Amino acid sequence: MTSMYGKVTDWATDFDHADPEYNERAHEIWAEFQSSGCPVAHSDRYDGLWAPFSHELVHEIAYDTDHFTSQGVVVNTGRPIAPPPVGPAPPITSDPPFHNIARRLLLPPFSPKVIAAWEPEVRRLCNELLDRMGDITDGESIVDGAVQYAQSIPVNVIARMLGFPPADEELFRTFVHNVLERINEPQEDRAAFMEPLGDYLRAQIEDHRANPREDLTSYLLNVEIGGNKLTDDHVAGSILLLLVAGIDTTWSAIGSSLWHLGTHPDDLKRLVDEPEVMMFALEEFLRAYAPVTMARLVKEDYDFHGCPMKANDWVLLPFPAANRDPEQFENATDFIIDRQENRHGAFGLGIHRCLGSNLARLELKVAVEEFVRRFPKFEVSGETRWSVGQIRGPRELPLRVLETA
Amino acid sequence: MRIVVDADKCQGHNRCFALAPELFDVDDYGTAIALNDGEVPAELEEKARLAAANCPEFAITLED
C-alpha cells in the first residue's frame, strides 16, 4: 500500500483524515479547531479538500443541496464517474429530486418495525461469538473486542439481508477496507483493487436473477420506478452502499462503545447495575463516538464563509466532530451515560439520514448488552488500533476480562 | 399539551417512537406520526418533552 501523501505536518493547511494520527487523536484535533476561531481545515491533497469542524457549518452543508452534491461521499484521489443526480451508489450518492425516489424504495425494508424482528437473530449471533472466545480466566484472559466480536456482527446481518453467503465475510471486510481506507493511493491502483468488488456484485446479481429469493438483492431486481425495473448499475450501486455502509460503521460503533466501557469502569458498572439506562447510553455512545464522517463535492466555485471552494473540491461532513461541539451540546466532551437531551447527528442530518439507522441501533444495543452481560467487568489492556479515514473505530481492541458472569 | 410533528422536517430518525411509543407511531418510510391527534395525557407530558428534546431535526413542537 503506497499513499500518495506524506505525514501531516499542519492540520489546518495540510489536512488529511487518512493520516493514522487523525483518528487516534480525533477528539483533540476537533477541540483544537472548535476553539481556534477558524473551524475549517483545508488541504491540497485529493485535488482539494475542506473540512469544517463546527456543528453550525456541518449542519449548513448537510442541508445545502444547491451548492454541494452527494455524487461522491468517500474522499479519495479520484472523482466519481457516474454523474448526478444518481451517482455511483444510489441513494447515498444521489441528489434531489431523484434521491427521494431511490430512497423510498429502500426505506420500508429498514423501517423500525421490520428491523425489530431481527433482534433474536442478532442476540443469537452475539452469544455465538462470545461462546467462541473459549475458556476465560478472570483477570488473565484477553479478548479482542474488535476482531473477535464487533467486526463479525454487522457483516453477518447485512450478508443475510442481501442474500450473500455469510461465509464470505472476510472478503466483504476486504472490500470495505479497499473502499474506505485505501483512499490515498493512486487512482490506477484504486481502479485495479476495486475490480474484484464490481465482479462480485455482478456475479451476485446474475445468481439472484437466475435464482430469485426472499432477500434485498431480489427485491431490488424486481422493484420498479415509474413502471421500469432498475438498471443493473443502480442495483449494483445500492447493494454496494448497503454492503459498505452496513459493515464497518456499526462495527466501529460497537468497538468504540466497548473501548469507552473498558476505559470508564464507572459507566460500565452503571450499565451492568441499571440495564434500563441503555435507552440513553445508546444515544450517548452514538453522540460521543459517532463513527461516520460523510463527504460532498462542491458543485460550482463557491465562497463558503470566506473559504474559496472550487468546483469538484471535496468537503468532509464530520458529524462526529459536530456531536462534540460545545456550542451545540452542554458538556460536549463529557460522556454522560443518561444524557436526557441529545439531538446528535450520528446518522447524519437532512435528507441523507442513514437508511440503516434502525438496524445499526439494534446491533449496537444488543452487542453491548450481550457483551456486558457475559463480562460485567473488563478493561482495555494494551494498544488499541484505530481505523483510517472517514469511519472511526477500533480495529484491534484488547480487553482483559476481569469478571465473567 | 399537544404534539405537532412537522412532516417536512422529519427525516425518520425515529427517536420519538423509541422514547415515547405511547405518543408516536412511524410509517413504512420512518416518518413520525403523533397519535391521538397529538393530544398528550397529563401523565405522559414528561415523555412528550423528552421526545421533542431528542429530535435531531427539531421537527417536534409542543403546544400548551
Mean pLDDT confidence for A187-199? 94
* DSSP secondary structure letter of residue A230: P
- The size of chain A, in residues, is 405
Q: Which residues of B touch A283 (CB under 8 A)?
A: 15, 54
CATH number (domain holding residue B18): 3.30.70.20
pLDDT for A278 beyond 70:
yes
* DSSP secondary structure letter of residue B25: E
Angle (CA) A194-A199-A203 rounded to 5° is 150
Mean pLDDT, chain A, whole residue set: 97
H helices then E strands: how many in chain B? 2, 4
pLDDT for A2 beyond 90:
no
| Cell numbers describing residue A367 | 452487542
Interface test with A, best of B13, B31, B58 (most A CBs within 10 A): B13
Cα–Cα distance measured from residue A363 to residue A346, given in angstroms and rounded to the nearest whole number: 15
Interface test with A, best of B31, B54, B58, B60 (most A CBs within 10 A): B54
What is the band of A252 on the pLDDT scale with cuts at 50, 70, 90? very high
**A354-382, pLDDT tens digit by residue?**
999 999 999 999 999 999 999 999 999 99
| Cell numbers describing residue B32 | 413520525
What's the pLDDT at A202? 97
Cα–Cα distance measured from residue A310 to residue A298, given in angstroms and rounded to the nearest whole number: 7
Cα–Cα distance measured from residue A16 to residue A272, given in angstroms and rounded to the nearest whole number: 39
Cα–Cα distance measured from residue A298 to residue A68, given in angstroms and rounded to the nearest whole number: 5
Spacing of C-alpha A330 from chain mean position: 25
Give me the architecture of the A20-403 domain, per CATH.
Orthogonal Bundle (1.10)
Look at strands A294-298 and A68-69 and give their pairing. Answer: antiparallel
Q: Which residues of A touch B27 (CB under 8 A)?
A: 111
Side-chain-side CA neighbours of A320 within 13 Å: the count stands at: 29
- For the range A121-124, what are the long-range contacts, defined as Cβ-Cβ under 8 Å and sequence gap of 24 or more? A121/A157, A121/A160, A122/A153, A122/A157, A122/A362, A122/A363, A122/A366, A122/A367, A123/A366, A123/A370
Say whether A341 and B14 touch across the interface (CB within 8 A).
Answer: no
Say whether B30 and A347 touch across the interface (CB within 8 A).
Answer: no
Helix (H, G, I), strand (E, B) or coil at A342: coil
**φ, ψ dihedrals at A387, nearest 5°:** -65, 175
Residue A184: name the closest of A83, A68, A70, A314 by CA: A314
In A, minimum Cα distance to B9 occurs at A350
**Under 8 Å between Cβ of A315 and A17:** no
pLDDT for A234 beyond 90:
yes
Say whether A343 and B53 touch across the interface (CB within 8 A).
Answer: yes
**A114-164, pLDDT tens digit by residue?**
999 999 999 999 999 999 999 999 999 999 999 999 999 999 999 999 999
Spell out the domain ranges in chain A. Answer: 20-403
ipTM: 0.97
Residue among B15, B30, B58 minimizing CB distance to A107: B30
* Terminal C-alpha separation, chain A: 43
Domain that holds residue B10: 2-63
pLDDT for B61 beyond 70:
yes
Q: What is the pTM of this model?
A: 0.97
Residue among B14, B18, B56 minimizing CB distance to A344: B56
**Closest Cα of chain B to A328: distance in Å?**
12
Give the residue carrying C-alpha cell 459517532: A290
Say whether A341 and B12 touch across the interface (CB within 8 A).
Answer: no
Q: Check CB contact of B47 with chain A, cutoff 8 Å.
A: no
Would you report the helix, strand and coil content of chain B in percent, each value rounded to 5?
Answer: 35, 25, 45
**φ, ψ dihedrals at A69, nearest 5°:** -105, 150
What's the pLDDT at A1? 61
Angle (CA) A29-A34-A38 rounded to 5° is 105
Give the count of beta carbons closer than 10 Å to the beta carbon of residue A143: 24
**Closest Cα of chain A to B20: distance in Å?**
11
Say whether B26 and A112 touch across the interface (CB within 8 A).
Answer: yes
Say whether B12 and A353 touch across the interface (CB within 8 A).
Answer: yes
Would you report the helix, strand and coil content of chain A in percent, each value rounded to 5?
Answer: 50, 10, 40
Identify the sign of the CA torsion A211, A244, A185, A148.
Answer: negative
**Under 8 Å between Cβ of A201 and A241:** no
Say whether B50 and A107 touch across the interface (CB within 8 A).
Answer: no
Q: Which residues of B touch A113 (CB under 8 A)?
A: 26
Mean pLDDT confidence for A309-338? 98
What's the pLDDT at B64? 87
Tally of domains within chain B:
1
Mean pLDDT confidence for A93-104? 97
Say whether A357 and B13 touch across the interface (CB within 8 A).
Answer: yes
Contacts of A402 (CB under 8 A, 6+ apart): A138, A139, A375, A377, A378, A379
**Closest Cα of chain A to B39: distance in Å?**
22
**A23-68, pLDDT tens digit by residue?**
999 999 999 999 999 999 999 999 999 999 999 999 999 999 999 9
Three-state SS annotation for A9-29: CCCCCCCCCCCHHHHHCHHHH
